[in-house]
Amino acid sequence: MNSGVDAPDEEASENGAASAGKADDADVPDAVDVVGVDEAVAGGSDESAADGTTHEPETQDSAVERRAAETPPDVRLQVRNLRKSFGGVVAVDDMSFAVEAGTITGLIGPNGAGKSTTFDCITGAHEPDGGTVRFNGEDITGLRPDQIASRGLVRTFQIARELPEMTVLENLMLAPPDQVGERLWRSVVPGARRGVVEQERALRDRVWETLEFFEIDHLARQEAGALSGGQRKLLEMARAMMTDPDLLLLDEPLAGVNPTLEEKLLDRIHDLRDQGYTFLIVEHDMDVIMDHCEHVIVMHQGSLLAEGPPAEIRSNERVIDAYLGEDLE
């Protein structure tokens, strides 16, 4: 049960570069007897208290664990036993799942299931109370958002957060990592600036390509604050793509987007997946998730309810009871 919280720090760093599969194998035996360490890491007596409630779906959890342990090394993201509470409210409780490279994975669940909090914990906006997040085999639990993003795990927001007083072009130019001109002296000292200008030219060309890909090039010179809600969603995705992420977390990318634009956005996501990008999408629209994701993760009351291919989820009794109900009939 606690095995995800297991990894004492040294082990985490040792295994940092190792494949996820290997690390997981090592974890399983530890799980039984390292409770003391667990508490030190997770920092909480409330953890063991909360454990009582989560013991009940034991069989399923260990199945998940076994599956996770068996996953091939091309696992992009591995979340294990993630916990986060706000005051007395446990928003995410012992959540474990994995995202495989090159897939579109959907994360669904009723309102308040803890999807956005899970996102926030993965991307560093919140520090999880317990559990581990591994990205490309590296433990990124508790890192700052910028550290996580610079490792290639980039997110968008539920309510699009454009940079309102910057133009669409500037919004996209901001995103690429490792810009030499982000060093102050490089931007100022006359001789050193030449390299900055060259890089800026190359980036500008990429920005225009990306804008054309998302078909918002006609808005390029507008300030982002003047865009419509749907356009902002496109902008945000375009901006995230400019970082060339290994995994893109999209928090309700279709909320407030009209059907035409929705089609366009989904097409783009599929195109990008075909190019090798990986997506984890939180979405309310069941049809979208079922039609477009290879793998679906269902959250309920802060923990994992079920996961599998869409067809399997559709027929899962527990999912239907808890969430889908007549929606799917």
Longest pairwise C-alpha distance within the chain: 67
Query: Which residue stretches of 158-251 are H helix?
Result: 168-174, 184-188, 193-213, 229-241
Q: Which is nearer to another protein, 234 or 288 (CB)?
A: 234
How near is the Cβ of 38 to another protein at its closest, in Å?
30
Q: The sheet that has 104-108: what strands, in order across it?
A: 153-155, 247-251, 278-282, 104-108, 295-300, 303-308
Q: Which is nearer to another protein, 66 or 204 (CB)?
A: 204
Q: Which is nearer to another protein, 225 or 309 (CB)?
A: 225
Evaluate whether 277 touches 248 at the Cβ level (below 8 Å): yes
Evaluate whether 122 touches 83 at the Cβ level (below 8 Å): no
**C-alpha dist (Å) from residue 320 to 61, 113, 298, 327:** 19, 15, 11, 9
How near is the Cβ of 318 to another protein at its closest, in Å?
34
Report the alpha-carbon distance of residue 208 to residue 199 in Å, rounded.
Answer: 14
How near is the Cβ of 281 to another protein at its closest, in Å?
16
How near is the Cβ of 295 to another protein at its closest, in Å?
24
Q: Which is nearer to another protein, 46 or 215 (CB)?
A: 215
Q: Which is nearer to another protein, 62 or 150 (CB)?
A: 150
Report the alpha-carbon distance of residue 263 to residue 269 in Å, rounded.
Answer: 10
How near is the Cβ of 297 to another protein at its closest, in Å?
22
Q: Which is nearer to another protein, 9 or 244 (CB)?
A: 244
Evaluate whether 134 touches 17 at the Cβ level (below 8 Å): no
Q: Which is nearer to another protein, 54 or 123 (CB)?
A: 123
Q: 3 in helix, strand or coil?
A: coil
How near is the Cβ of 304 to another protein at its closest, in Å?
25
Q: Binding residues for another protein, per CB under 8 A?
A: 123, 125, 144-147, 149-150, 154-155, 157, 161-167, 169-170, 173-175, 177, 179-184, 186-188, 190, 193-194, 196-197, 199-201, 204-205, 207-209, 212, 217-218, 220-223, 226, 239-240, 243
Query: Which residue stretches of 71-144 are H helix?
Result: 115-123
Amino acid at site 277: Y
Q: 54 in helix, strand or coil?
A: helix
How near is the Cβ of 234 to another protein at its closest, in Å?
15
